[in-house]
Amino acid sequence: MDKKNHLLFFSSLDYDGHFVDNIADESVDVEKIVETQMMIEAVRNAISRLNAEERDIIERLYFNDETVALMSKAAPSE
């Protein structure tokens, strides 16, 4: 510590040289980020196993914001 200039040496802040590890960013919820990434991966994996018709339904409902009623009107009659 440099008392004359009121300075604290960076090297004196941590004994093992990993000062960055001692600074916690409380605003970031790492656990939630990892959980969200895992859920995204699981959804992508599940969607990749769907057939073309099933994928189309999912895309229209969740990515194109179409309603079930609108989709049923556009569906070909059997």
Single-letter residue type at 35? E
Return the half-sphere exposure (C-beta side, CA atoms, 13 A cut-off) of residue 14: 9
50: left (phi over 0), alpha (psi -120 to 50) or beta: beta
- Residue 50's pLDDT is 96
Mean pLDDT of the region 17-39: 80
Res. 36 pLDDT band, cuts 50 70 90: very high
- The neighbour count for residue 66, using CB atoms within 10 Å, is 14
Does pTM top 0.75 for this prediction?
Answer: no
Q: In this structure, are residues 60 and 71 in contact, taking their beta carbons and an 8 Å threshold?
A: yes
> Domain limits of the chain?
10-74
**pLDDT for res 71:** 85
Largest CA distance in the chain: 89
Looking at residue 4, what is its pLDDT?
Answer: 75
Please report the pLDDT score of residue 72 as a whole number: 84
